[in-house]
Structure 1
């Protein structure tokens, strides 16, 4: 992860040195609305819970989907601010207990974007997630765990976007959760932090 962040920073400094400070790649920018969909690959990191488990839990990255809308407001000097309103599935597994989790969220990322070259965009910002529904599956039985699951998730997200066509972009982001999310199972409290890789296609107009 540190190498990935250093690579992003190096790209930013390199391309920024090539451009004039007041250069704007698109002089006709305006407020843009968008629709997006894609995939989440999430890991519920129980080893970062409090207290940590006595036996470390092996990472298990699980797929889920997302879809929703975005609103992008242009700012000076190739910057813009983008608010997203998403329905997102963050799934996971505790391999020590052979238990699978399916969580649905209203996801609200707020991103500061910078166009480092005409087709490449760097983005970062906070992400707020509100739980809609939760299920857990163990020993072939599925139970509703919505009321026993912490309803808020807060994280920081960052990544890159590539403007494939005028109205279509492809994006890759990584989100790291800040807060501990509590679960109650078999009268024993468990906590974890989210780690999420997100791949999306965005359509703007």
Structure 2
């Protein structure tokens, strides 16, 4: 009798877990992006902290397997800082330049989601992103000193640089999430860029690749996303 009761309890638990894991769900999430742009001309680059927000649908395929397409607004990019000084003719010239590249995308990840245990899942899949805005915020200052005098000059502003970047960006994401019984979930995902995001064909300098000995320039978006959301 004990064995029968234990078997019934185990079967009920297994059925409940499988059912919870294979339900169709709709949800939303948002969180922080730790983004960077890798590749050429990024020696002085730092990461950029930004955000993502959007919705998702979880579609059950098998007992522990689901497909999760998402529609996200995600802000990527990087920051740059450069400074230096040199002296000549009794004068000292110093400069400092800071810039923040903002690349805003509509992203469509399609994740294959596998439940390890109830609530805990791992996920992986491709992501397609469409660039909707690209801006560069800059702050430049310079000083010339000598003979007891100092002359300073500074400039700041925002430039639209969308023509320098390709509209389509492809990536691949991998991560995991944990969902509580009442629908709140937490997730972490790393998306590595697979395609070249820059488009120097529109750059003002003609024959740019020839200027750099025919080198093909390549930059990719990379981002770590930490999210909190709710699904029902």
TM range (shorter): 0.7 to 0.9
Are 2:34 and 2:223, in contact at CA under 8 Å, matched by a contact in 1? yes
Match of 1:12 in 2: none
Give the Cα separation in 2 of the matches to 1:157 and 1:27: 26
5 Å-filtered alignment, 1:107-186, equals: 107-138=107-138, 139=140, 140-182=156-198, 184=200
Gapped runs of 5+ residues in structure 1? 1-22, 47-51
186-195 vs 104-113, which moves further: 186-195
Could you say what secondary structure the match of 2:163 adopts? Answer: helix
The change in CA–CA distance for 1:62 and 1:165 in structure 2 (over 3 A counts) is farther
Find the counterpart in structure 1 of residue 66 from structure 2.
Answer: 80
Q: Output aligned runs, 1:50-129, within 5 Å.
A: 52-53=40-41, 57-95=43-81, 98-129=98-129
Following the alignment from structure 1 to structure 2, what is the Cα–Cα distance between the partners of residues 115 and 26? Answer: 10
Specify which of 32, 37, 45 is matched with residue 38 of structure 2: 45
Describe the shift of the 1:165–1:61 C-alpha distance in structure 2 as closer, same or farther (beyond 3 A). farther
How far apart are the structure 2 equivalents of 1:161 and 1:58?
34
Q: Runs of at least 4 residues of structure 1 off by over 6 A?
A: none
CA distance in 2, matches of 1:132, 1:67: 15
| 1:27 partnered with 2:4 | no
Please tell me whether the aligned partners of residues 24 and 59 of structure 2 are also in contact (alpha carbons under 8 angstroms): yes
Gaps of 5+ in 2: 1-13, 83-96, 141-155, 210-216
Larger Rg: 2
Please give the secondary structure, in 2, of the residue aligned with 1:27: helix
TM-aligned CA deviation for residue 63 of structure 1:
0.9
Alpha-carbon RMSD: 2.2
Aligned residue pairs: how many? Answer: 176
